[in-house]
Structure 1
């Protein structure tokens, strides 16, 4: 009669579980691809400043997310995490508009550029979105920024 050793049974069980998990992940729907994934443009924020911005977009189902870092606005004092409220307005399919909103940000040191996101909004397959303006509220102070250059290399297509 053959005796099973616990070490072999444990390894075999772990191997089966790992293979089953890998198969399940392979069948899971992938997050939608956004092209381009990253774009740049410039903003004029009035007396708060002006400068370039980098936007990074992702998609999961009908929700799009955009994270943004801009040199157009810098913080004169340290700003705590999750204390910046932002609204990014984008043209939608060349005519209408849509907004991505959020109140998430990393901690920003004094003199640091404003980073915000993820900002979220609803998207549909084929939506083409290009940023036109940004509103940032920090400690009750609102900065409104207008895009001064087109988004490059082009609009986000979800």
Structure 2
């Protein structure tokens, strides 16, 4: 198993799909998997069931995957319910890292699709990213490998991950 972790908007899904295609393995995005299994959007789950229920769904989803895959984890998944320990036990964890500035640029474009930030002004978004990154950084840094994504194309990040996979 290869788990991609990192803050929302860092590119886990985009990168994960392409790595899976290049390596001919299946790709799973935990958020998409949850939406499929519950027939609800992530936004609906947050609104109707709350964040705690969503975090439990994330944990249940990640622990139910029993075939070789490239997995894009929701941004908060590693930071809850001892999930980072589980991921490290089950496979290789890569932290896709981006600066606050890069994340702001990426997230401003599609805030409406992300329940945790959909109602934030751009100033509040910056504050939110800094706060949550600070909370999660310790968890993210437990990954087996960290790849900086600032000022890199998707192709460059893919090349870096594929080179890394050859050494594992």
Tell me the TM-score range normalised by the shorter chain. Answer: under 0.3
In terms of fraction of residues, the more helix-rich structure is 2
| TM-score (norm: length of structure 2) | 0.23
In terms of fraction of residues, the more strand-rich structure is 1
| TM-score (norm: length of structure 1) | 0.24
Q: Which has the higher contact order (CA 8 A, sep 6+)?
A: 2
Rg bigger for which structure? 1
